[in-house]
Amino acid sequence: MTTTASTSDPVSPLTAPSPRIWNDPPSPATANELARRSLIGHLGIEFLEVGEDHLVARMPVDDRTRQPFGVLHGGASVALAETLASCAATFTVDPDEAICVGMEINANHLRPVTSGWVTGVARPIALGRRTQVWEIRITDGDGKLVCVSRCTMAVLATPASTRHPGSPT
């Protein structure tokens, strides 16, 4: 089952479908609302799709995300990649028991982009109890690979002060 906020299908399966990985089925609309007043919203990042084993978002290539020479800033690509990994990792855990935070990210910038949109797809490489590793592939409007990133997430116990009311301590 795939939840989609867009009619285009930017995802091409890399392997056979994985088992469902999400704690609760996340919604692109909910993710977009939560992100609206943060760096994510400022950069224009939009969540598009939640699949069985992937999360998809896109980002405009415009004055907010280009470097002074007119091409997509590598830091903007990394922000898209870490946004996808962080949100995807968070969607896999019970928020009353765990939170996910970034430990490390790397990125290879493969092709310049000057306008339009880039689309990122995050898929898990490893979903452990204490760490998760995600691969994020970012493509341009023609489907050409722009950036490949890997992000390692730490899975930590939810601080008692942020647990939902009524949850065990």
Residues 6+ positions from 160 with CB-CB distance below 8 Å: 169
The answer as to whether 166 is a domain residue is no
Lowest average pLDDT, out of 20-24, 41-45, 72-76, goes to 20-24
Q: Are 40 and 80 in contact (CB under 8 A)?
A: no
- Cα(21)–Cα(131) distance, rounded to whole angstroms? 15
- Cα(136)–Cα(148) distance, rounded to whole angstroms? 6
pLDDT in tens, 69-83: 999 999 999 999 999
**Catalytic residue numbers, as ranges:** 82
The answer as to whether 167 is a domain residue is no
Give residue 152's pLDDT band: very low, low, confident or very high (50, 70, 90): very high
For 87, the domain range is 18-159
Domain count within the chain = 1
Q: Between the CA of residue 139 and those of 15, 119, 152, what are the distances in Å?
A: 18, 5, 21
The answer as to whether 7 is a domain residue is no
The answer as to whether 87 is a domain residue is yes
What would the mean pLDDT of 6-22 be, rounded to a whole number? 54
The answer as to whether 69 is a domain residue is yes
How does 22-43 read in b/e, with b if 16+ C-beta sit within 10 Å?
beeebebeebbeebeeeebeeb
The answer as to whether 27 is a domain residue is yes
The answer as to whether 79 is a domain residue is yes
What would the mean pLDDT of 86-107 be, rounded to a whole number? 96
Domain at 41, CATH number: 3.10.129.10
Q: Is the pLDDT of residue 26 over 90?
A: no
Q: Is the pLDDT of residue 7 over 70?
A: no
pLDDT score for 11: 47
pLDDT score for 30: 87
Ramachandran category for residue 81: left, alpha or beta (phi over 0 → left; psi -120 to 50 → alpha): alpha
What would the mean pLDDT of 30-43 be, rounded to a whole number? 92
SS3 percent helix, strand, coil of the chain, rounded to 5, is 20, 35, 45
Give residue 25's pLDDT band: very low, low, confident or very high (50, 70, 90): confident
The answer as to whether 153 is a domain residue is yes
What are the tokens at 100? 């996910």
